[in-house]
Amino acid sequence: MAANASMNNHYDCLIIGGGPAGSSAAYTLAKAGQEVCLVDKSEFPRNKLCGGLLTLRSKKVFEQVFGASWEPSYEFDASSMKLLHKDKLLTVVDDYSRLYFCQRYHFDDYLLSLAQSAGASSKLGASVINIDLNRKVCRLRSGEEVSYDYLIGADGANSFVAKTLFTASFNKDTIGFALECELPREACKGDSDLKTPEVYFGLVKWGYGWVFPKKETLTVGLGGRHSINPDLQKQFRTFLKQRFGDVAVPKVKGHYIPCGDYRKQPGSENVLLIGDAAGLVEPITGEGIAFAMQSGYMAAQSIIENTGAEASTENLFAQYMLKYSDISTSLKYARALSYLIFPAIGQKLFVKALPKTRALPRMHMDLMADEIDYREYIRYLIVNMPKGILRQLVT
Ligand SMILES: Cc1cc2nc3c(=O)[nH]c(=O)nc-3n(C[C@H](O)[C@H](O)[C@H](O)COP(=O)(O)OP(=O)(O)OC[C@H]3O[C@@H](n4cnc5c(N)ncnc54)[C@H](O)[C@@H]3O)c2cc1C
């Protein structure tokens, strides 16, 4: 099947999207000897709006998928984090293992280069504008047609592949939206040497704000559920002014973020959705890079395993669903947890509790590092939250 595959523009697997999800799938498939082509509408390196926080979970998944050096992935790291409510410092989680910060311009290019070195073909600056699911053919804006046995949709929150399968890329009621800008360090008087990342609660509904240190910039952002934060632009300006005074604000950009709204059915038959295209973003932290890489690896493994006499689209999908449930179960618990954390009463309890406890924020960091699972964390909260409610009632 693989021989001559690319000569007539036919591939075992065609991947749409060259973010962390697409490159992880492309790398895994190419390494297993499959004829794989990755198509992206942008030339690389390209920018992708993102805080660029790489948790220990991201590092672990990266090492599992690529087995390559982690060092080129990031440009800044920290071992502490400040948690604030509006402008009030709640706590500093210090002496924590490590948090890494990347520029997606470089990170995504690094991952793509690993996939290319493993033998994946790529067509960059090539937008997919039509998918004929019956003929198994994608048409690019140039008019070129590419056929496939398997198609992977790794094309982000506005996924064209998901839209082709299900008529909409995402659910408008539950999707998140975030605004971000990159402040040059030298423009931030008093903060040009900032080393500790900051996370701000109480600025938006069902979301948070962040200041993430990079090598030459500070990435400042604010995001929350789109449908209940109609004034996000205004709230972002207020946040910038409150935190950085009269700093000249460079271009502010916005992007959807599918927090917690993962797809129960991530594809159909020989078409698999991964990463943001499947809605795999943690609903509390907005972390998506780890799940993008992990789901890319899972989709590729499902394709690799679905060969020989037993090969069928039913088997493929069943295999992918089985692996995918590892992520979707975590996200299901994370969503349950978001109902404890984000509503007003939950926020009030956290704001009161955080300055008084070392265990709570550290457990949350452990959760982000994949050192404990969501069930363990929820159990801890359920045991400890009633005490907090009682204390609120009597103080
Ligand atoms: C403001 C913001 C901050 C965030 N901060 C963090 C963070 O700090 N840490 C974290 O872990 N996650 C963060 N996330 C989430 C993270 O960015 C995503 O989960 C992650 O990028 C998903 O990777 P992906 O490969 O699925 O999709 P993407 O990275 O979005 O890649 C999709 C690719 O598909 C291409 N594409 C789209 N349509 C087509 C088409 N028709 N034809 C060809 N190519 C196409 C695009 O050009 C793009 O390169 C943030 C998200 C936002 C919006």
Q: From ligand 1's centre to the CA of 250, what distance in Å?
A: 21
Residue 78, number of CB atoms within 10 A of its CB: 18
If you average pLDDT over every residue of the chain, what do you get? Answer: 93
Residue whose Cα lies nearest atom 3 of ligand 1: it is 50
Which residues are registered as beta bridge partners of 121?
37
Which ligand 1 atom sits nearest the alpha carbon of residue 276? 26
Which ligand 1 atom sits nearest the alpha carbon of residue 157? 30
Q: Give me the amino acid identity at 361.
A: P
Q: From ligand 1's centre to the CA of 102, what distance in Å?
A: 14
Q: What's the token pair of residue 303?
A: 């394709």
One-character DSSP codes across 144-160 = -EEEEEEEEE---TT-H
Given this model, what pLDDT does residue 353 score?
85
Instruction: Give the tens place of pLDDT for each residue, 136-163.
Output: 999 999 999 999 999 999 999 999 999 9
Instruction: Name all residues whose Cβ lies below 6 A of ligand 1.
Output: 16-22, 39-42, 48-53, 127-128, 154-156, 160, 178, 180, 221, 223, 255, 257, 275-277, 281, 286-289, 292
Pocket test for ligand 1, best of 15, 47, 48, 53 (most atoms within 8 A of CB): 48
The answer to whether 258 and 157 have CB atoms below 8 angstroms apart is: yes
Q: Comparing 21-25, 58-62, 193-197, 353-357, which segment has the lowest mean pLDDT?
A: 353-357
pTM: 0.95
Full set of structural domains in the chain with CATH: 5-76+101-169+262-335 (3.50.50.60), 176-257 (3.30.9.10), 343-394 (no CATH)
Name residues whose C-beta falls within 8 Å of residue 354's C-beta, 6 or more positions apart in sequence.
83, 90, 91, 360, 361
DSSP 335: H
Residue whose Cα lies nearest atom 19 of ligand 1: it is 288
Instruction: Give the tens place of pLDDT for each residue, 202-259.
Output: 999 999 999 999 999 999 999 999 999 999 999 999 999 999 999 999 999 999 999 8
Q: Are strands 207-213 and 198-201 parallel, antiparallel or unpaired?
A: antiparallel
The answer to whether 37 and 16 have CB atoms below 8 angstroms apart is: no
Pocket test for ligand 1, best of 210, 276, 291 (most atoms within 8 A of CB): 276
DSSP 70: S
Q: Does the structure show a pLDDT above 50 at 32?
A: yes
Residue whose Cα lies nearest atom 37 of ligand 1: it is 155
The answer to whether 219 and 180 have CB atoms below 8 angstroms apart is: yes
Q: Does the structure show a pLDDT above 70 at 394?
A: no
Planar angle of CA 250, 223, 326, nearest 5 degrees: 130
Residue 67, SS3 per DSSP: coil
Given this model, what pLDDT does residue 7 score?
52
Nearest to 336 by CA among 294, 377, 278: 377
Q: From ligand 1's centre to the CA of 50, what distance in Å?
A: 8
Q: From ligand 1's centre to the CA of 342, what distance in Å?
A: 24
Instruction: Give the tens place of pLDDT for each residue, 258-267.
Output: 987 899 999 9
Angstrom distance (rounded) from CA 259 to CA 207: 10
- Cis preceding-peptide flag for 45 (omega within 30 of 0): yes
Given this model, what pLDDT does residue 2 score?
43
Which ligand 1 atom sits nearest the alpha carbon of residue 275? 26
- Estimate the crossing angle of helix 344-353 against helix 374-394, to 10 degrees: 90
Nearest to 330 by CA among 272, 296, 378, 297: 378
